[in-house]
Amino acid sequence: MLRRLYDWVMGLAASRHAPKSLFAISFAESSFFPIPPDVMLAPMVLARPDRAWSYATICTLASVLGGVLGYAIGFFLQDFGIWLMAATGHAGGLAEFQCWYDKYGVWVILAKGVTPIPYKLVTIASGLAAFSFPMFIIASVITRGARFFLVAWVVKKFGPALLPVIERRLALFAGGLFVLLVIGLMASHFLGGSSGGACAV
Inter-residue contact 124 to 90 (CB < 8 Å): no
Residues of the chain under the 50 pLDDT cut: 173-174, 177, 181, 184-197, 201
Reference 46, options 141, 180, 159, 192; nearest CA is 159
For residues 92 and 40, give the distance between their C-alpha atoms in angstroms, rounded to a whole number: 31
pLDDT at position 188, please? 39
pLDDT at position 63, please? 93
pLDDT at position 23, please? 94
CB atoms within 10 A of CB 63: 29
For 89, left (φ over 0), alpha (ψ -120 to 50), or beta? left
Inter-residue contact 125 to 74 (CB < 8 Å): yes
pLDDT at position 187, please? 44
> b or e along 44-62 (b: 16 or more beta carbons within 10 Å of the residue's beta carbon)?
bbeeeeebbeebbebbbbb
